[in-house]
């Protein structure tokens, strides 16, 4: 029985194989239906996979998403920065026994820091972070085309963490300035820099938030928050929009490991440009100052003082004979506007006052108990940075 079954299965297999060969090579040998079609249907071959159209080959009207144009316009102006400073010499280096056991210090290598920068003018002015070049004795810049140059430090502003450098090269590429006033949460941005020293890298993301402050990074904080990957070495690099325009200088990341966790911060280009113009023109940044001690206005404080407003900045101290005192501000006043610009936090008050021009007058709106007042203040010049000072 088993032998019979094996013979039968082999015969069926051979018959099916013969039928398949005939249907493929000589279908006319097979019997026809009444409608003239073959009694055996041969499946057509699968169509070849069609490659996805590229930006260059896509048919007209097709939607493609690529930021190659923006990256191509901006990357030539983004540079790598190597900052070197001499190593600290041990205090025991004059001791002959110390030199006998540890050498004379010749083996110590210069301390080297890596960062990024952005060329913003055709005559070679660069923007970067102050912390990238702080304390450096020698600053070397490498362009995307491979050229290198020694950079001259024009000036720094530690309160915004901005530094301005100058290189002397011919045919220097420069990025175009954007306008952060037009930036919105959700806009696509690209971060360009030299993370970990691996070479120029472009990452993409969106604007996650605007006006981030109270982070404890700088004195003046008004950061653009983005989820574009920013890592060590990106500091001082460019944050650009989809048109290839500079909208920020990458500065810091929130990280538990030292790598990107999707929360990065950039200095708005409007702030960086204002700082650069002051450093190039005057060698320093001049800011407004009125001489007050501010404090956040909490709902509990507003309730205690029976204030009709819930947003503003409480003034806890006024510098005697300072601009605010001369203009009529008192401790207990709540500042709601500076030059028609609403303020709801101490950071916003600091930035709004700093943006005022010294020796000019400004109207400061305050809530004093149940009365709303507009006070005219002659703005002073902010003193040089100290550990703590009135705003």
Q: From the candidates 116, 131, 227, 241, give the one annotated as an active-site residue.
A: 131
Lowest mean pLDDT among 94-108, 312-326, 337-351: 94-108
Is 93 an active-site residue? no
Q: Where are the domains of the chain?
A: 176-282, 288-381
Q: From the candidates 80, 116, 157, 161, give the one annotated as an active-site residue.
A: 161
335-339 own/partner pairs: CB under 8 Å, 24+ apart = 335/292, 335/294, 335/364, 335/365, 335/366, 336/309, 336/311, 336/312, 336/365, 336/366, 336/367, 336/372, 337/363, 337/364, 337/365, 338/362, 338/364, 338/365, 339/363, 339/364
Q: Is 97 exposed, middle or buried (0-12, 13-18, 19+ CB in 10 A)?
A: exposed
> Do 75 and 118 touch, CB atoms closer than 8 A?
no
Tens digits of residue pLDDT in 140-154: 999 999 999 999 999
Q: From the candidates 80, 235, 260, 365, give the one annotated as an active-site residue.
A: 235
pLDDT at 107: 47
> Do 91 and 58 touch, CB atoms closer than 8 A?
no
Compute the residue count for the chain.
Answer: 391
Q: Which CATH architecture has domain 288-381?
A: Roll (2.30)
Q: Which CATH architecture has domain 176-282?
A: Beta Barrel (2.40)
* pLDDT reading at 310 higher than 70: yes
Confidence of residue 362 (pLDDT cuts 50, 70, 90): very high
Tens digits of residue pLDDT in 232-273: 888 999 999 999 999 999 998 876 666 667 889 999 999 999
Is 131 an active-site residue? yes
């Amino acid at each position: 029985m088993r032998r019979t079954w094996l013979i039968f299965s082999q015969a069926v297999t051979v018959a099916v194989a013969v039928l398949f060969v005939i249907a493929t090579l000589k279908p006319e040998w097979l019997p026809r239906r009444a409608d003239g079609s073959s009694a055996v249907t041969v499946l057509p071959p699968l169509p070849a996979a069609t490659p996805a159209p590229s930006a260059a080959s896509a048919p007209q009207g097709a939607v493609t998403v690529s930021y190659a144009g923006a990256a191509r316009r901006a990357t030539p102006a983004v540079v790598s920065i190597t900052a070197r400073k001499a190593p600290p010499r041990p205090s025991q280096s004059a001791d002959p026994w110390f030199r006998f056991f540890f050498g004379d210090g010749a083996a110590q290598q210069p301390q080297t820091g890596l960062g990024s920068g952005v060329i913003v003018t055709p005559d070679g002015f660069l923007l970067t972070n102050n912390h990238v070049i702080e304390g450096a004795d020698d600053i070397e810049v490498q362009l995307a085309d491979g050229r290198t140059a020694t950079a001259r430090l024009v000036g720094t502003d530690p309160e915004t963490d901005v530094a301005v450098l100058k290189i002397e090269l011919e045919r220097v590429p420069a990025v175009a300035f954007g306008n952060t006033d037009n930036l919105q949460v959700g806009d696509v941005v690209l971060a360009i820099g030299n993370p970990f020293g691996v070479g120029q890298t472009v990452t993409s993301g969106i604007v996650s938030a605007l006006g981030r402050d109270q982070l404890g990074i700088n004195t003046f904080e008004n950061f653009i928050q983005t989820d574009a990957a920013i890592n060590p070495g990106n500091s001082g690099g460019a944050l650009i929009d989809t048109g290839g325009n500079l909208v920020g200088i990458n500065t810091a990341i929130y990280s538990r490991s030292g790598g990107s966790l999707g929360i990065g911060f950039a200095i708005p280009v409007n702030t960086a440009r204002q700082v650069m113009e002051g450093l190039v023109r005057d060698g320093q940044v001049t800011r407004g100052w009125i001489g007050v001690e501010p404090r956040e206005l909490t709902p509990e404080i507003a309730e205690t003082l029976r204030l009709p407003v819930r947003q503003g900045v409480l003034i806890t101290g006024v510098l005697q004979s300072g601009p605010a005192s001369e203009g009529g501000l008192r401790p207990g006043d709540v500042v709601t506007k500076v030059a028609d610009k609403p303020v709801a936090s101490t950071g916003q008050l600091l930035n709004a006052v700093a943006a005022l021009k010294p020796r000019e007058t400004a109207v400061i709106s305050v809530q004093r108990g149940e009365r709303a007042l507009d006070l005219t203040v002659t703005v002073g010049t902010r003193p040089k940075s100290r550990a703590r000072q009135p705003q």
